[in-house]
Amino acid sequence: MDEIDDLPLRRTRRRNVIVMPNRPSPNDLTAQLGARIVGQPHAMEKIVPYVRTHQAGLAPEGRPIGVFLLLGPTGTGKTRTVEALAEVLHGTPKNILKVDCGEFQMEHEVAKLVGAPPGYLGHRETQPMLTQAKLTSLASERCNISIVLFDEIEKAAPSMTRLLLGVLDKAALRLGDNNTVNFERTLIFLTSNLGSQGIMKELNPKFGFPAGMEPTREEMSSRLASIAMSAARRQFSPEFMNRIDAIVTYQPLSEESLAEILEQQLDELQAHILRRLGDRAFRVLVPKKTKSFFLRKGTSAEYGAREIKRTIHRHLMQPLANMIADGLIEPGMSVYVGLSEGDDEVVLKAA
């Protein structure tokens, strides 16, 4: 009798296992993004739930999947977050429709987004940037989500934010030829450096009581978020701000985060060498002292981690290319990346 009573339960469990969709758990998606985005875990916590809601089929109709305003100083990972999300969802960071808002500072330039209406000179020659075909091409077999990035939205003309009101609220954009673009399966990201100057002043007070106080990390994060939010509210209308699902303020990167980003860049360099050179590849050995040199040259409180890649390219990639061209590095060798006696110059030795 006990076996008979227990049988439906076992069948239910097996049925549940079969019905469950074969998708990564929220922890997996968060972990994949966290491995690519260093020092900004709060950003993952706000973005991932909207992706999971869409994957579960519970996203609201008639709206984009999620609209995010990413604030904070330059070099803290705002654009990198969008690229990492595209890489996790589609397998490549290139599946993004990026609109550089610095190119739309004049009112008439905004027409390039939707195309000129019939009757205007050059109507047929003006192809809109935001079309249904382009949005659809951003999806992949792995995921049907399209990602649109409006980079440095504060630089765009006011008419662009007015144009986006319908997109952010109703997920619809009417083009110049009267065709409508559907943004229901779209994640929309807006990045901005608004409040950066106020954030830097808060981080580096020159006089007064704040200079002698050491707030906790939670208190500092709250202050920086308040500064960025105030700047955004001064820049954008209440109607525009009310259509944003989540506002994320990126914090300045700590020394530990910068060191981890450097490690990622060095790993990418090694992978690039192995991928491009194949049988002629070699190993690059970078000691701790040289890594400290790269951090000094490639990071700053003002520019964050943006300069790290250029520093590695200038001090490591270019010298390696010269050695390869001169035949000084044979396949399978190891190249030791040291410093000169004054610790002011990189010295490469192949062995």
Pairing outcome for strands 97-100 and 146-151: parallel
- Tens-digit pLDDT profile for residues 263-294: 999 999 999 999 999 999 999 999 999 999 99
- Tens-digit pLDDT profile for residues 202-261: 777 654 445 455 667 677 778 888 899 999 999 999 999 999 999 999 988 888 889 999
pLDDT band at 29 (very low <50, low <70, confident <90, very high): confident
Compute the average pLDDT of residues 319-335: 93
- Return the CATH fold of 26-252: Rossmann fold (3.40.50)
- Tens-digit pLDDT profile for residues 112-134: 888 766 555 555 566 788 999 99
Average pLDDT, the chain: 84
Q: Is the pLDDT of residue 310 over 50?
A: yes
The CATH class for the domain spanning 256-350 reads mainly alpha
Which regions of the chain carry the CATH code 1.10.8.60?
Answer: 256-350
Cα-Cα end-to-end distance for the chain: 75
pLDDT band at 22 (very low <50, low <70, confident <90, very high): very low
Which regions of the chain carry the CATH code 3.40.50.300?
Answer: 26-252
